[in-house]
Amino acid sequence: MSNLKWRLVTIGVLVLLSVYALFPRDVKTRQRRPDGTFFDTVTRRVPLRKGLDLSGGMHLALEVDESKGVVANKSEAIDRALKVVRTRIEGMGVSETVIQKAGNDRIIIDIPGVDDRERAIRMVQDQAFLAFQITDKTNAFEKVLPRLDAIAKTRGLGAATAGARTAPAPNASLNGLLTAGGDSSRSASGITRDSAKKDMAKAKADSATLPGASGGVISKMILAGQFPGEFLFERNNKDILKDFLDVPDVQAAMPPGKVVRFGSDSVVIQNKSYGYLYLVDERPIITGESLTDAKPNSTPEGTVVEFTLSNEGGRKFQRETAKHVKDYMAIVLDNVVMGRPPVINSAIGTRGQITMGQGRELQAAQGLSLVLKAGALPVPLKVAEVRNIGPSLGQDSINKAWIAGTIALALVVIIMLGYYRFSGMLAVAGLALYVLYTLATLASFDAVLTLPGLAGFVLSIGIAVDANVLIFERIREELDRGKTVRTAIDEGFRHAMSAIIDSNVSTILTAAVLYQYGTGPVKGFAVTLIAGIVASMVTSIFVVKTFYLLWLNRSRGAQTLSI
Amino acid sequence: MLRILHGTKYDFIRPWRIAVAITAVFIVAGLGFLAVHGINKSIEFTGGTLMQLEFQQPPNPADLRATVDGAGYPGSEIQPFGSPREFTVRAAGHDAGSSVEKTAREIEIALHKRFGATEPTVVRTEIVGARVGDELSRNALIAIVISLFVTLLYLAFRFEWRFGVAAVLATAHDLLSTLAFLAIMRLEVSLTVVAALLTVIGYSLNDTIIIFDRVRENLKKARPEPLYDVLNRSINETLPRSVLTHVTVAAATLSLLIFAGEVIRPFSWIMLFGIVTGTFSSVYIAGPTLLWIERKWPRARGNERAPSRAPAPVAPVKPAASRPPVAARTR
């Protein structure tokens, strides 16, 4: 009797715990309006997390990009990159994201509800290495042009491009060019645009063709800009130029301590689009590491990102800029010069701004400030895997799994009731508790429900009654041997135990292997399988037995058992 | 009380040669199929781009193909997915240099150009780099091997090595026959299918263990009886349980197959086949193997547990090689 009471209390406590675990609670979620801003909503819902294949969203796997050089300690680099990526993603304001390291060299990101694939990829992939570099003023590029021409000739570059290109008539077009270009020149605090304009006049004089041009393909492609170190090229040629500059021979021919960077801006002259090219000092005067804050702003000059440097960074910046008064300073983000380099008028302190390239709207500035604040990625990352599931598909999957689950449950109930009658009813009651316990276990372990997981759950409903069937068949055998109802029930449970435990433990072992080696949806499947097996053992061995004991207590001396 | 197959005395083991012949033919045919056509791997394993498209109006498939070809991806697989309004487009892996999402972007642009700004809706995109795919294939294989090994260890610990080897051989048979089924049905092998395969392993083992548990129990009984008869009796005694459990699991699986949609269908097919092959192998592979091992390494009679030896190395699965248990029967 006391044994029975103890059993009932245990079941009651389990039920209460399960109900508590599954009780709908307030969850704060952030959602995105169509215009790209976020708002918080508080919803009451059952605390079961849906996997991406059910909720819709994006899964990304990133790995170290070694195309530009081997990374020595990948695992450690990924650890550092993980922090940066996490800060960036969290800055996007999406709720319930999962960001973790997988294996030694991969980062896995799950973002529910995000469907703008390209934006999200940009967010995590932009390296965001910010550097301030002084443009060259020694005409170093002009000096190496003849050698570049010679290399181009040996590579047969001339034939491919000469026909495509027609140079703008030198004087007339360049006047127009400079006016157009001048407008897009921007300034950081401590820098005035006027000085840039003043320099224009000087630049005009020698900008027709570059001094020392030998008339080769490359010299024809590249025109002088408004100040030393700035050059222009026809945008059609960008790919050719880019490939050419990557050639090892060309790299070797470059002036020492200087690097070539493309600009983000472009100008249109005579219906032709021109891009900018800069030769800058290889050593940056300061990098993004010293940056403490960044925020987007709209100014009459266009969209900008205003940044603040740390005190230490500010002092260094001031010292360096003091040395470079009257020089031009390129703001280089991931090897691209943002806007056009402003001239340094006087030493600059802790604050400055970066001008977004033309045609970039506020959203891009928001993204950039977020990325800058989170810091640069220690290693370049590349996308190894993307899964993007639309929200409608996820809902559709849930509905279908729901239908399949209901029908499976109904079939199992019919079979059990039809075959075992009263005992079948006890089994069905146990099955109801089984469903409750399994869901509660999943909720309290914060497991993720995936579509294969749901399928596994539906399947487990069918498998869950196996233990009941084993016990019931055993009881029948014992009854056949002429044992009394009470003894038969006792013996039935006792004898069926070893089979139930052995078979379930071996299934759990298999599921554990799946969990260890599976990813995403399959992991979800393994978790539901394990939770299901444990719950089914508890219900079939413990709960159903308690029901029997209860029944035996009520109808003392029962001669027959409906089984 | 409603009873099915109660108190039966079928000689299940007797036609084991025929059973083994049938399954051998099936497996050989399936593996031959596999050799000719190769495994139909999902992009998770091969790498590449998969897009699931949903149209408002059923499009002309030829038109769809022309559009994808025109986007620069000729030779892509285009298949209807469950309904004439839904299609999957599967494009091959991309060259290493370009960013992986380029393919999806280009196809999407081409589709919208052809069918309209909002048509079709891309409801799912999966892009997998080649390296990830290789790694997954390797992991899936490791998972299967390890789970077989772990189970063998557990069974050797709980039963004795004879049972363990017989159960693992039966399970290996299930793996092979399910692979054959996969090949013949041309099902796509995805991670979910690997999960189904491992579930089949678990389920089939379950079944074998239930029978072996009864064998273990019957062997403990005082009256001496040849293993052949013990095996048959155990199978007969557990028959009602087997039938009932298989019926309920099959009911759940069928309901998944019919109602749970296209995404989970390969999973359901494998499970359904797994129920059949698992039941079959518990009787016709595990049983004869146990008899054969018993003949080769007889247990000490009367002594309930034979001195446990180190598990014998698992022989490659060749069900036909198991010796006739006739000798055991006439003993």
DSSP state of A171: H
With a CB cutoff of 8 Å and minimum separation 6, the contacts of A536 are A434, A460, A463, A464, A466, A467, A504
- Contact criterion met (CB < 8 Å) for A509 and B150: yes
Q: What is residue A29's predicted lDDT score, i.e. its pLDDT? A: 62
- Angle, vertex CA A384, rays to CA A379 and CA A390, nearest 5: 125
Beta bridge partners of residue A302, listed in sequence order: A299
Q: Where are the beta strands (DSSP E) in chain B?
A: 48-54, 77-81, 83-91, 121-128
Residue pair B128/B135 in contact by the 8 Å Cβ criterion: no
Does residue B10 belong to any structural domain of this protein? Answer: no
- The terminus-to-terminus CA distance of chain A in angstroms comes to 24
**Helix, strand or coil for residue B261?**
coil
Q: What is residue B256's predicted lDDT score, i.e. its pLDDT? A: 92
Does residue B11 belong to any structural domain of this protein? Answer: no
- Domain limit, last residue, from B108, B128, B148: B128
Count of beta carbons in the 10 Å neighbourhood of residue A293 = 14
- Domain limit, last residue, from B104, B128, B152: B128
CA distance A276 to A338: 10
Residues B57 and B200 in one domain: no
| DSSP H helices in A126-169 | 140-154, 157-162
> Could you give the C-alpha distances from A508 to A54, A529, B94, in angstroms and in order?
25, 8, 39
Residues B146 and B260 in one domain: yes
Q: What is residue A171's predicted lDDT score, i.e. its pLDDT? A: 38
Region of poorest pLDDT, from A321-330, A345-354, B138-147, B222-231 = A345-354
Residues B64 and B200 in one domain: no
B224 preceded by a cis bond (ω within 30 of 0): no
Chain B: give the shortest CA distance to residue A407, in Å: 6
Q: What is residue A356's predicted lDDT score, i.e. its pLDDT? A: 67
For A117, the closest of B125, B147, B237 (CB atoms) is B125
Residues B171 and B214 in one domain: yes
CA distance A199 to A137: 13
Chain B: give the shortest CA distance to residue A506, in Å: 6
B151-190 pLDDT, tens digit each: 778 888 888 888 888 988 898 899 899 999 999 998 888 8
Residue pair A464/A493 in contact by the 8 Å Cβ criterion: no
For B124, the closest of A389, A516, A517 (CB atoms) is A389
- Chain B residues touching A456 at Cβ < 8 A: 195, 199
Query: Which has the higher per-residue pLDDT, B55 or A2?
Result: B55
Q: How many domains does chain B have?
A: 2
Residue pair A260/A254 in contact by the 8 Å Cβ criterion: yes
Between β-strands A25-32 and A38-45, what pairing exists: parallel, antiparallel or unpaired?
antiparallel
Count of beta carbons in the 10 Å neighbourhood of residue A48 = 16
Q: What is residue A408's predicted lDDT score, i.e. its pLDDT? A: 92
CA distance A122 to A118: 6
Does residue B5 belong to any structural domain of this protein? Answer: no
- Chain A residues touching B217 at Cβ < 8 A: 495
Read off the pLDDT of each residue in B188-205 and give the average, rounded to a whole number: 84
- Name the burial class of residue B185, with classes exposed (0-12), middle (13-18) and buried (19+) by CB atoms within 10 angstroms of its CB: middle
B89-115 pLDDT, tens digit each: 988 765 555 567 778 888 888 888 888
* Residue B118 reports pLDDT greater than 50: yes
- Contact criterion met (CB < 8 Å) for A510 and B140: no
Does residue B74 belong to any structural domain of this protein? Answer: yes
Does residue B190 belong to any structural domain of this protein? Answer: yes
* Residue B326 reports pLDDT greater than 80: no
- Chain B residues touching A452 at Cβ < 8 A: 192, 195, 264, 267
- Domain limit, last residue, from B128, B151, B177: B128
Read off the pLDDT of each residue in B227-243 and give the average, rounded to a whole number: 91
* Residue B321 reports pLDDT greater than 80: no
Residues B286 and B205 in one domain: yes
Give the 3-state DSSP-derived string for A499-557, with helices as H, strands as E and coil as C. Answer: HHHHHHHHHHHHHHHHHHHCCHHHHHHHHHHHHHHHHHHHHHHHHHHHHHHHHHHHCCC
- Contact criterion met (CB < 8 Å) for B128 and A400: no
Does residue B7 belong to any structural domain of this protein? Answer: no
Q: What is residue A37's predicted lDDT score, i.e. its pLDDT? A: 56
CA distance B149 to B141: 12
Q: What is residue A93's predicted lDDT score, i.e. its pLDDT? A: 66
**Helix, strand or coil for residue B225?**
coil
Residues B296 and B249 in one domain: yes
State which residue of chain B sits closest to A471, comparing Cα positions: B241
- H/E stretch holding A334 reads none
Read off the pLDDT of each residue in B202-206 and give the average, rounded to a whole number: 85
- Chain B residues touching A453 at Cβ < 8 A: none
Q: What is residue A176's predicted lDDT score, i.e. its pLDDT? A: 35
CA distance B2 to B9: 19
Q: What is residue A149's predicted lDDT score, i.e. its pLDDT? A: 83
Which of B125, B142, B201, B255 should be substituted to probe chain A, the one whose Cβ sees the most A Cβ atoms within 10 Å?
B255
With a CB cutoff of 8 Å and minimum separation 6, the contacts of B98 are none
- Please give the residue range of the domain that contains residue B53: 48-128
The reply to whether ipTM tops 0.90 is no
Residues B199 and B242 in one domain: yes
Which of B244, B253, B262, B271 should be substituted to probe chain A, the one whose Cβ sees the most A Cβ atoms within 10 Å?
B244
Chain A: give the shortest CA distance to residue B211, in Å: 9
**Helix, strand or coil for residue A380?**
coil
Closest to A531 (Cα-Cα) out of A405, A437, A449: A437
- Chain B residues touching A510 at Cβ < 8 A: 147, 150-151, 198-199, 201-202, 205
Which residue do the tokens 């645009």 mark?
A193
Residues B146 and B284 in one domain: yes
Q: Which two tokens stand for residue B306?
A: 């034979």
- Structural domains of chain A, ranges and CATH numbers in brackets: 2-24+390-554 (1.20.1640.10), 33-127+384-389 (3.30.70.3400), 130-360 (no CATH)
Q: What is residue A30's predicted lDDT score, i.e. its pLDDT? A: 59
CA distance A258 to A125: 26
Residues B173 and B292 in one domain: yes
3-state DSSP helix/strand/coil % of chain A, to nearest 5: 55, 20, 25
* Segments in chain A below pLDDT 50: 159-208, 212
Does residue B4 belong to any structural domain of this protein? Answer: no
Residue pair A305/A356 in contact by the 8 Å Cβ criterion: yes
**Chain-centroid distance, C-alpha A161:** 40
- The overall average pLDDT reported for chain B is 82
Q: Which two tokens stand for residue A409?
A: 């449950």
Q: What is residue A263's predicted lDDT score, i.e. its pLDDT? A: 86
Q: What is residue A178's predicted lDDT score, i.e. its pLDDT? A: 37
Does residue B155 belong to any structural domain of this protein? Answer: yes
**Helix, strand or coil for residue A67?**
coil
Q: What is the CATH number of the domain that holds B78?
A: 3.30.70.3220
For B213, the closest of A407, A499, A526 (CB atoms) is A499
3-state DSSP helix/strand/coil % of chain B, to nearest 5: 60, 10, 30
> Could you give the C-alpha distances from A297 to A36, A358, A362, A364, A462, in angstroms and in order?
16, 15, 8, 11, 60
Chain A: give the shortest CA distance to residue B288, in Å: 21
pLDDT band at residue B149 using 50, 70 and 90 as cut-offs: confident
> Could you give the C-alpha distances from A15 to A390, A437, A440, in angstroms and in order?
36, 8, 9
Residues B122 and B225 in one domain: no
Concatenate the DSSP letters of all residues of A244-282 into one string: HHHSHHHHHHSPTTEEEEEEEEEEEETTEEEEEEEEEES
Q: What is the CATH number of the domain that holds B34?
A: 1.20.1640.10
Residues B111 and B202 in one domain: no
pLDDT band at residue B20 using 50, 70 and 90 as cut-offs: very high
Which residue do the tokens 């059993």 mark?
A7
Residues B77 and B200 in one domain: no
Read off the pLDDT of each residue in B195-211 and give the average, rounded to a whole number: 85
- Chain A residues touching B242 at Cβ < 8 A: none
Q: Which two tokens stand for residue A552?
A: 């035996």
CA distance A518 to B193: 12
